[in-house]
Amino acid sequence: MSSRLWITAPMPTTAPWVRLAATALCTWMAAPIQAEAQAAVPFTPGMKVTESVRIAPGTYDVVGPESLDEALIVVSGDDITLDLSGVHLRGIPIESDPDLATGVALRVDGGSRVTIRGGSIRGYRFGILARGSRGLRIIDSDLSYNWKPRLFSQVGQESLVDWLSYHDNEQREWMRFGAAIYLEDVTGGEVRGTRAVQGMNGLLMTGTDSVRVQDNDFSYNSGLGIGMYRSSWNVIVTNLLDYNIRGYSEGIYQRGQDSAGLLMYAQSSHNTVAYNSATHSGDGFFLWAGRHTMDTGEGGSNDNLLFYNDFSYAPANAVEVTFSRNRVIGNYLRGSRYGIWGGYSWETLIQGNCFGGNQYGVAIEHGQDNVIEGNRFDGDSLVVSFWSRESEPADWGYSRYRDTYSRNQRVAGNIFAASSEVWRLERTRGNEIVSNLVMDSIPAEACDPRALLGNAFDDFASSLPNVEPELPYSPRSGLPRSAMVVDAWGPHDGMSPKLWPLDAEQAVVRLRVLGPAGSWRLIERRGVAQISVLSGRTGDTLVVEPSPGALGDWAVELEYVGERTISARGTESVAGSSVPFGFERFEAIDDWDISFVAWDDPARDPDRDPRAFAQLFESEAIMTRRETRLDYQWFTPRLEGIPGERWGLEATSNVTLEPGEYSLRTISDGGVRVWVDGALVVDNWEPHGTVVDYAPISAGQHELRVRYYQLEGWSEIRTEVVRGSGRSPGSAGPH
């Protein structure tokens, strides 16, 4: 019988123990069968499981504990099976903003041969968190729709607040990101048949060895499909890791912001990655040696094998392998900025891969003793590039302890078809380039790594037992890179209708109908003078002209009828039902007067002397402008006359807000203050990295004044009024 439990109070610090007698198991692999024979016990928040148990099926709406040291279910001990078949744990209402999710749903503390089977866990910071366990198995679970942050990059330009950094995890820094599954110091076991979509991270592994990750779907997350840190001897096979992406707007910016299908950092070695589909992610595969190697020149993330994967259509790199020695064999690497970025790689083998349509095929900065052999390059703009910089940073440990000059790389037996430029070699020596075929056109026969490798493909495949040597079926993996759509909460998965702008124009807006096949019709419009078409089919483009005076506040609502849909937050609708969707724009401020200033003397820096900074605007403005938006970001100033460092601005405007609830929001990198009607409401004046600040603002007429400065580096200032009282902080830094 289905049951439902609502709990919103904090979880008790002392929870009942759950103990059920279990028949002794012949082997730990038989644990699921034994668990099914047991009587089900009710779910109790905070329950501790020390012997095999089956929890009564039902839907349990239980808010996650505030502390990550607590969990709704804690498993500890040996030879335990926790059967969650038919159990649905939900931490927040389905259509809530996902950054409201908190806490750990299920924690495994140590123990050996623990099996978690089945269940649906959604709406938590962490679905399953396991530490110090041996032989852990997570089988056939659904951990989708857990925590993820709001994104602040827009169609027209990105924000640095969305950039990720997975470079450090010695002090559990990765815990700030959340994950469907987080494994720490786990040895042996498997994660199989599990689904984790529409969160931030699917599976994170740190200090974890000898785990088999097979037949899972970790797609459509806004961070990583799989992330590994100091994790070795793992086998990652036949998984879907597609569309793990942020930082992409078709035709405007293609950054990826360090999202990836599969990330492998910090001395992660001897891993096998085969038969995975990891397309349309920031990087398909992203490998880095780690801080220890950067400081000492020692070690690396070495001797990993990438075999017969599809890493195509990445905004950044299909494969990035740096400061390490690895094998990249028989993969699809197409439609990306870089097919392979191999900075400081050494003794790396790149063999039998299908490149195509990349801006750069293989680019290796400061590489040594690498081999590029038997690959096919179809229509890459620049195929092979080797180079060294003129000098290395004097305080960098890696270059102090190692010779980093580009040298002794072999390029042999490759096919270069219809490429604009085959070679670019700068400050490199001792390279061997032999027996390559240059063609003016792309061969009619599609590139296939199996054909390129011949018998070697079978040899590699035979070394991976218990897995079919085929890529898993991925219905959207073959779409062009333009299929990626990233909104304020991450990638669109095509499972529900969506109305999406094709550019950042304000006066006339083109909107594309995305989603499953079906029909649509206009239901309602507000503040719209004209709309080009009132009904149609998925794939249509609507042209919307806002009414005069409503450029910043208008909306259209449509109705979709067609196939079964699943929203980005997990709401399902049966085929043929009516599904509403639409698009709205709210930009309450459309006229800013902006004055720019600059100074040279550090004594006048605004954090040291705010009065001196204020006096600059009285007589020393270097430029004035009127803008419809206060929204600047750059490394190199985009406005002529603005210096690269020590500059600031003052912006003023008036805003009239209809009755309702509103917030003033700033995104800044530097220092910012905002006054509303003369009252200071945002005061983040010390120099800082990119952060989001909020202040309430009431309905009615208001005068706004913003002061901002940047001393050096990245500059970013955005100020806007948004509806509601939400306080989404965005992605955890540093950025």
**Across 452-481, average pLDDT:** 94
State the pLDDT confidence band at 620, using cuts at 50, 70 and 90. confident
425 and 383 housed in the same domain: yes
Q: Can you point out the beta strands (E) in 677-714? A: 679-697, 700-710
Task: Determine the pLDDT at residue 346.
Answer: 98
- Could you give the CA distance from residue 128 to residue 174 in angstroms, rounded to a whole number? 15
In a domain, 219, yes or no: no
Give me the CATH number covering residue 498. Answer: 2.60.40
Kindly report which listed range (4-8, 191-195, 406-410, 667-671) carries the lowest average pLDDT score.
Answer: 4-8
**Across 90-94, average pLDDT:** 97
In a domain, 222, yes or no: no
Which two three-digit tokens encode residue 39?
Answer: 């009587």
DSSP 174: G
CA angle (252, 314, 169) in 5-degree steps: 105
- Each residue's pLDDT tens digit, 50-88: 999 999 999 999 999 999 999 999 999 999 999 999 999
Do residues 122 and 145 lie in contact, with contact meaning Cβ atoms separated by under 8 Å?
A: yes
599 and 660 housed in the same domain: yes
- Each residue's pLDDT tens digit, 281-301: 999 999 999 999 999 999 999
Q: Would you say residue 31 has pLDDT above 70?
A: no
420 and 555 housed in the same domain: no
* Closest alpha carbon to 64 in 42, 90, 86: 90
* Closest alpha carbon to 687 in 717, 719, 720, 712: 712
Q: Would you say residue 25 has pLDDT above 60?
A: no
400 and 269 housed in the same domain: yes
- Could you give the CA distance from residue 250 to residue 84 in angstroms, rounded to a whole number? 41
255 and 324 housed in the same domain: yes
In a domain, 619, yes or no: yes
Residues 6+ apart with CB under 8 A from 458: none
Task: Determine the pLDDT at residue 634.
Answer: 95
575 and 606 housed in the same domain: no
- Could you give the CA distance from residue 312 to residue 164 in angstroms, rounded to a whole number? 21
417 and 498 housed in the same domain: no
Do residues 169 and 190 lie in contact, with contact meaning Cβ atoms separated by under 8 Å?
A: no
Distances (CA, A) of 517 to 44, 494, 564, 567: 43, 10, 10, 15
436 and 555 housed in the same domain: no
* Closest alpha carbon to 322 in 247, 264, 253: 264
336 and 295 housed in the same domain: yes
Give me the CATH number covering residue 602. Answer: 2.60.120.260
- Could you give the CA distance from residue 143 to residue 179 in angstroms, rounded to a whole number? 9
Task: Determine the pLDDT at residue 3.
Answer: 38
C-alpha dihedral, 229 to 233 to 239 to 243, nearest 10°? 20
Task: Determine the pLDDT at residue 58.
Answer: 97
Task: Determine the pLDDT at residue 309.
Answer: 99
Q: Would you say residue 193 has pLDDT above 50?
A: yes
DSSP 471: P
- Could you give the CA distance from residue 503 to residue 284 in angstroms, rounded to a whole number? 26
Judge residue 596's burial from the number of C-beta atoms within 10 Å of its C-beta, 0-12 exposed, 13-18 middle, 19 or more buried: buried
Residue 450 backbone dihedrals phi, psi, to 5 degrees: -65, -35
- Could you give the CA distance from residue 492 to residue 473 in angstroms, rounded to a whole number? 19
**Across 484-492, average pLDDT:** 98
State the pLDDT confidence band at 619, using cuts at 50, 70 and 90. confident
Taking the complete model, does pTM exceed 0.85, yes or no?
yes
472 and 529 housed in the same domain: no
Do residues 467 and 473 lie in contact, with contact meaning Cβ atoms separated by under 8 Å?
A: no
Task: Determine the pLDDT at residue 393.
Answer: 92
Place of tokens 């006359």: 641
* Closest alpha carbon to 267 in 236, 232, 295: 232
* Closest alpha carbon to 198 in 473, 474, 493: 493
State the pLDDT confidence band at 33, using cuts at 50, 70 and 90. very low
In a domain, 512, yes or no: yes
For the chain, percent of residues with pLDDT exceeding 70: 95
Query: Alpha helices of 286-374 — where are they, by DSSP H?
Result: 291-296
Q: Would you say residue 13 has pLDDT above 70?
A: no
Residues 6+ apart with CB under 8 A from 671: 606, 607, 684, 685, 686, 687, 688, 708, 709, 710
473 and 431 housed in the same domain: yes
- Could you give the CA distance from residue 221 to residue 215 in angstroms, rounded to a whole number? 17
Last residue of a domain, one of 526, 556, 586: 586
Task: Determine the pLDDT at residue 11.
Answer: 37
- Could you give the CA distance from residue 79 to residue 24 in angstroms, rounded to a whole number? 9
Domain containing 316 equals 243-486
Q: What is the mean pLDDT of the chain?
A: 94
Last residue of a domain, one of 451, 467, 486: 486
Do residues 218 and 263 lie in contact, with contact meaning Cβ atoms separated by under 8 Å?
A: no
Q: Would you say residue 465 has pLDDT above 90?
A: no
- Each residue's pLDDT tens digit, 550-560: 878 999 999 99
Q: How many other CB atoms are there within 10 angstroms of residue 373's CB atom?
A: 19
Domain count, the chain: 3
CA angle (144, 211, 69) in 5-degree steps: 55
Place of tokens 């899972």: 216
524 and 548 housed in the same domain: yes
Q: Would you say residue 1 has pLDDT above 70?
A: no
In a domain, 634, yes or no: yes
Task: Determine the pLDDT at residue 549.
Answer: 79
Residues 6+ apart with CB under 8 A from 379: 356, 357, 417, 418, 419, 442
Task: Determine the pLDDT at residue 10.
Answer: 36
In a domain, 670, yes or no: yes
- Could you give the CA distance from residue 182 to residue 130 in angstroms, rounded to a whole number? 6
In a domain, 128, yes or no: no
- Could you give the CA distance from residue 731 to residue 150 in angstroms, rounded to a whole number? 7
**Greatest CA span in the chain, whole angstroms?**
85
Residue 719 backbone dihedrals phi, psi, to 5 degrees: -130, 130
- Could you give the CA distance from residue 440 to residue 289 in angstroms, rounded to a whole number? 38
Last residue of a domain, one of 486, 515, 542: 486
In a domain, 49, yes or no: no
